[in-house]
């Protein structure tokens, strides 16, 4: 099954929960893949520390104009919804950073002057450690669009029985791309006003995608009770909670909090796994 | 001249909004802009009174008119985003609005309809004018919305003859962050001494260099890990980035958030004290 770990707000503990859950599966002898879909800020392997065995360059298609064929008719400019191709002094000028790879210009050009070429946008690194197979995307700095890379990361390890996807924060296209088609979404939050506000936004996004979800409250004792009451009122399924601890925060800062979490809070992590299992669409793959 | 101070972090949850809200209190004659449009939180601290509400038309979405559709399947072949189902229904979340399907549909059964993807607001707050937004659930085009908010904030600053716009950014390095960074005078990077904090600091610093934006670093929760904090200092020293503030871990930051206020208004504790000093340094960096 595919479990996406997500949140509206950043820094609530997505990566920690994703890592802990993956370790939990691995320790139980289960087949598990951990996919880092937060390609703008990929952090999973800072904690997993898998040796990278393979690095694959990921590209998108962008137009390339054969100027000997182009007659400057402007059809390409007219079809492009993203202002990625404009005619200046009778010649097309390309802004490939704006290109969404829709192929419109390529198909529309009456002179067949446009071909599509590959433009690298990032890499996917693959490795494994402690029974967890890992693939993570890394978007090249300066690239604006992460969804095409996220889509590629999601295709890694299709045969793993359990695939855990660490999503980017927010509720817009990168987060949606990561969560889309999963069997279950775990929303990680913290009991603060920012955490609460962003959780409601994230829950809205998951609902729009029609995916079942549950909420994990991290650092459950840092806020005040009124906020925990608010969580109850929302009626979401609260499936686990992990208290704040300076010890865990310090271990996190060194990149080795997972063993500590499994030592003290393994039951909570197991709860997430067993809750998610209810929504296992068994052989469905994304 | 209007100068833009943008607050970014790479990694989420390092304290961007808490720092930005405090600076909004400490700075005089400024406009505040929340550019973290898909998880905006600044309004929870500033408690704005909304003066203007506008719709944000982010783009177009394809819509298939059943009576004209002959189910020929051309659109399925052209769509690169798997946004059209086998029974010819468009998934508005997957549709990028490119219009290629509409262009090539032989019976002209596909219409590209304008689509509202969010709202943006001009508000009054106890700390001055505030421009903010709410991107619709599962919407794209956050970069365009960020650009719009920054433009409006600059216009208000120009009207009121204010010299500063304080911009709260979003995590990551992608489209909204690039839009936030564009035209900024100084990017204040709020980081934390953790393996992920420093990793993401390096990436977002590289992004700032890519766009030729001057940077300064603020280390939040600085006492969580002195070794990583030292590593951050060494990295910054090597790159010539000034580390202008170290904020200790202080529960008053969370308490202030719960009280719906900024930490400098809430407390005189260690975090508030350091943020006050940070403001002096930021002014220096902006001048």
**Neighboring chain B residues of A101 at a CB cutoff of 8 Å:** 80
| Mean pLDDT estimate for chain A | 95
Express each pLDDT in A205-220 by its tens digit.
999 999 999 999 999 9
The answer on pLDDT for B97 being more than 50 is yes
* Interchain pair B200, A41: CB under 8 A: yes
Is B35 strand, coil or helix?
coil
For the ranges A247-261, B132-146, B175-189, B267-281, the lowest mean pLDDT is seen at: B132-146
Which segments of A74-169 does DSSP mark as H helices, in order? 75-79, 104-108, 147-154
**Average pLDDT, whole number, for chain B?**
96
Q: Which is nearest to B205 in space by CA: B230, B238, B168?
A: B238
For residue A282, what pLDDT band results from cuts at 50, 70 and 90? low
**How do A91-94 and A85-88 pair as beta strands?**
antiparallel
Within the 105-134 window of chain B, which residues sit less than 8 Å (CB to CB) from chain A? none
Condensed to tens digits (0 to 9), the pLDDT of residues B25-74 reads 999 999 999 999 999 999 999 999 999 999 999 789 999 999 999 999 99
A108 CB within 8 Å of a chain B CB: yes
Interface ipTM: 0.95
Query: What's the pLDDT tens digit per position in B1-35?
Result: 899 999 999 999 999 999 999 999 999 999 999 99
Cβ separation of B104 and A222 shorter than 8 Å? no
Give how far Cα A237 sits from Cα of A24, A180, A276, B287, Å: 21, 20, 11, 51
Q: Is the pLDDT of residue A225 over 90?
A: no
Model's pTM, two decimal places? Answer: 0.95
Q: Does A280 or B233 have the greater pLDDT score?
A: B233
Task: List all residues of chain A from 9 to 28 with a beta carbon under 8 Å from chain B.
Answer: 9-12, 15
Could you give the CA distance from residue A156 to residue A168 in angstroms, rounded to a whole number?
17
Give yes or no for residue A67 having a pLDDT over 60.
yes
Q: What is the pLDDT of residue A286?
A: 45
* Structure confidence at residue A285 as a pLDDT band (50, 70, 90): very low
Nearest to A198 among B9, B39, B138 (CB): B39
Those residues with Cβ within 8 angstroms of residue A44's Cβ, 6 or more apart along the chain or in another chain: A15, A18, A19, A34, A36, A38, A134, A136, A166
């Amino acid at each position: 099954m595919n479990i996406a770990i997500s949140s509206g707000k950043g820094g609530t503990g997505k990566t920690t929960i994703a890592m802990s859950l993956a370790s939990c599966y691995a320790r139980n002898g289960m087949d598990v893949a951990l996919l880092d879909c937060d390609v703008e800020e990929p952090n999973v392997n800072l904690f997993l520390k898998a040796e990278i065995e393979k690095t694959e360059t990921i590209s998108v298609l962008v137009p390339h104009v054969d100027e000997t064929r182009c007659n400057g008719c402007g059809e390409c400019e007219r079809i492009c919804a993203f202002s990625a191709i404009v005619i200046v002094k009778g010649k097309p000028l390309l802004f490939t950073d704006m290109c969404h790879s829709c192929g419109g210009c390529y198909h529309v050009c009456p002179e067949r002057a446009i071909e599509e070429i590959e433009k690298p946008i990032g890499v996917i690194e693959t490795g494994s450690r402690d029974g967890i197979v890992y693939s993570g995307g890394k978007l090249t700095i300066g690239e604006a669009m992460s969804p095409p890379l996220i889509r590629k990361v999601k295709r890694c390890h299709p045969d793993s029985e359990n695939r855990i996807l660490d999503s980017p924060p927010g509720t817009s296209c990168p987060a949606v791309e990561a969560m889309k088609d999963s069997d279950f979404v775990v929303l990680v939050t913290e009991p603060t006003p920012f955490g609460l506000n962003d959780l409601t936004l994230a829950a809205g996004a998951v609902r729009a995608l029609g995916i079942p979800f549950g909420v994990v409250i991290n650092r459950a004792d840092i806020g005040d009770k009124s906020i925990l009451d608010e969580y109850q009122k929302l009626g979401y399924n609260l499936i686990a909670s992990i208290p704040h601890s300076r010890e865990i925060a310090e271990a996190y800062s060194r990149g080795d909090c997972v063993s500590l979490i499994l030592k003290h809070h393994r039951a909570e992590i197991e709860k997430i796994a067993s809750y998610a299992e209810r929504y296992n669409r068994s052989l469905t793959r994304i | 001249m209007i100068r833009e101070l943008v607050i970014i972090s790479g990694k989420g949850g390092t304290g961007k909004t808490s720092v930005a809200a405090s600076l909004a209190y400490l700075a005089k004659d400024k406009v505040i802009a929340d550019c973290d449009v898909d998880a905006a939180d600044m309004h929870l601290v500033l408690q704005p009174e909304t003066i203007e509400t506008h719709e944000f038309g982010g783009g177009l979405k394809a819509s298939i008119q059943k009576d004209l559709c002959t189910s020929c399947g051309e659109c399925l072949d052209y769509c690169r985003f798997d946004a059209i189902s086998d029974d010819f229904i468009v998934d508005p979340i997957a549709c990028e609005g490119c219009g290629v399907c509409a262009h090539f549909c032989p019976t002209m059964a596909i219409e590209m309809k304008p689509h509202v993807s969010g709202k943006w607001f001009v508000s009054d707050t106890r700390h001055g004018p505030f421009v903010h937004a709410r991107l619709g659930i599962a919407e794209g085009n956050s970069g365009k919305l960020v650009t719009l908010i920054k433009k409006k904030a600059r216009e208000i600053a120009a009207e009121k003859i204010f010299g500063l716009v304080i911009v709260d950014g979003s995590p990551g390095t992608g489209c909204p962050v690039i839009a936030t960074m564009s035209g900024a005078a100084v990017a204040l990077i709020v980081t934390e001494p953790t393996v992920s904090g420093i990793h993401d600091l390096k990436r977002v610093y590289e992004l700032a260099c890519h766009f030729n934006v001057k940077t300064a670093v603020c280390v939040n929760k600085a006492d969580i890990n002195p070794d990583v904090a030292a590593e951050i200092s060494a990295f910054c020293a090597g790159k010539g980035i000034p580390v202008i503030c170290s904020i200790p871990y202080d529960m008053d930051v969370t308490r202030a958030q719960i009280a719906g206020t900024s930490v400098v208004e809430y407390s005189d504790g260690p975090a508030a004290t350091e943020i006050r000093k940070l403001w002096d340094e930021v002014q220096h960096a902006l001048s």
